[in-house]
Amino acid sequence: MIISVASGKGGTGKTTISTNMALALGSGVEFLDCDVEEPNAHLFLKPVIERTELVTTPIPLVDLEKCTYCRKCSAICRFNAITVVSHKVLIFPELCHSCGGCMVVCPEGAITETGRELGEINFGARNGIRFINGRLRVGESMSPPLIKRVRSEADPEKVTIIDAPPGTSCPVIAAMNGADFVLMVTEPTPFGLHDLKLAVETVKLLGIPSGLVVNRSDIGDQEVFAYAEREQLPVLLTIPFERRIAEAYSQGRSIVEEFPEWKERFCELFHKIETIIQKRSTTV
């Protein structure tokens, strides 16, 4: 079972919710930090990292001995990552999306693949919680292949909790696609609601059931609740704006470990999600 925690707007509490849910459920859960541009779930889960692997993405390598400068490779590339000028083939690795199209269309078989470093993937654990995160190389702009790589490590037998990146573009899609449920974390502010709407529309297109956590639920206005009702989005948990929660967070301490009453609430949140997923699988 895969639960992806997303938000639209950044800083609403995705990591807080996802790490606390993982800690509340405890041993047997799997946690994937897919916010690879700035992974921070380890600060709260405090896993022991057991191994690290380098992640590369394929880019073309041209054998000029075989190349006839026919330009079929550059014609198919939507990102202009490969071009042919005066008997030279130029490759711009940072523009390449690793689709392999140039290799397929090359009539001479002159293109093979080599790798470009994207970042690293870390494997660890803490108290029976399996932990994996991706960390994008500084200067790299293409995160989806790394996110997909992190997700490929998911154990289908486990409950997998994904901490997704903010926004609604490719990296978020990569972190949500194929999930059984998307848990949206928002705050009741106009900004939070604006971006939540975009995220909700995205999830609709992906056909994944979703529900809401409203964090800092007693600030801002009440618009998000009216929106949730109109959209028939279940509000599965509300967390008030409390100083003690903020203090724990700022020191890297989890809510469920600091305040035992919250452990129950996060378990309940998970059970509500489980129920929605089960109901859906019986009706489909």
Partner 1 sequence: MKVAVTSKGTLLESEVDPRFGRASYILIVDTDSLSFEAMDNSANVNAFKGAGIQAATMISDKGAEVLMTGYCGPKAFATLEAAGVKVVSDISGKVLDAVTAIKEGKVSYSATPNKDGHW
Site residues, partner 1 (CB under 8 A): 74, 78-81, 83-86, 88, 90, 92, 95, 141
Nearer to partner 1, 86 or 281 (CB): 86
Nearer to partner 1, 74 or 189 (CB): 74
- Please state, in angstroms and rounded to a whole number, the distance separating the CA atoms of residues 57 and 117: 7
Q: For tokens 């998307």, what's the residue?
A: 182
Which lies closer to partner 1 via its Cβ, residue 141 or residue 251?
141
Burial-class residue 51 by CB neighbours within 10 Å (0-12, 13-18, 19+): exposed
Q: Taking the complex as a whole, how short is the minimal distance between the CB of residue 10 and partner 1, in angstroms?
A: 18
State the Cα–Cα distance between residues 125 and 30, nearest whole angstrom.
9
User: What is the distance between the alpha carbons of residues 234 and 213, in angstroms, rounded to a whole number?
Assistant: 9
DSSP 93: G
Ramachandran angles phi, psi of 202, nearest 5°:
-65, -45
Query: CB of 69: closest distance to partner 1 in angstroms?
Result: 12
CA atoms within 13 A on the CB side of 177: 12
Least distance from C-beta 175 to partner 1, angstroms? 20
Q: How far apart are the first and last CA of the chain?
A: 16
Q: How far apart, in whole angstroms, are the C-alpha atoms of residue 185 and residue 215?
A: 7
Query: How far, in Å, CA of 248 to CA of 41, rounded?
Result: 14
CB of 75 to partner 1, least distance (A): 11
Say how far apart CA 33 and CA 30 lie, in whole Å.
Answer: 10
Instruction: Please report how close the Cβ of residue 93 comes to partner 1 at its closest, in angstroms.
Output: 11
Crossing angle of the two packed helices 260-283 and 14-25, in degrees rounded to 10: 90
For residue 187, the minimal CB distance to partner 1 (Å) is 28
Which is closer to partner 1, CB of 97 or CB of 197?
97
* DSSP H or E stretch at residue 123: strand 111-126
Nearest to partner 1 of 84, 176 (CB atom): 84
Task: Give the nearest distance from C-beta 136 to partner 1 in angstroms.
Answer: 14
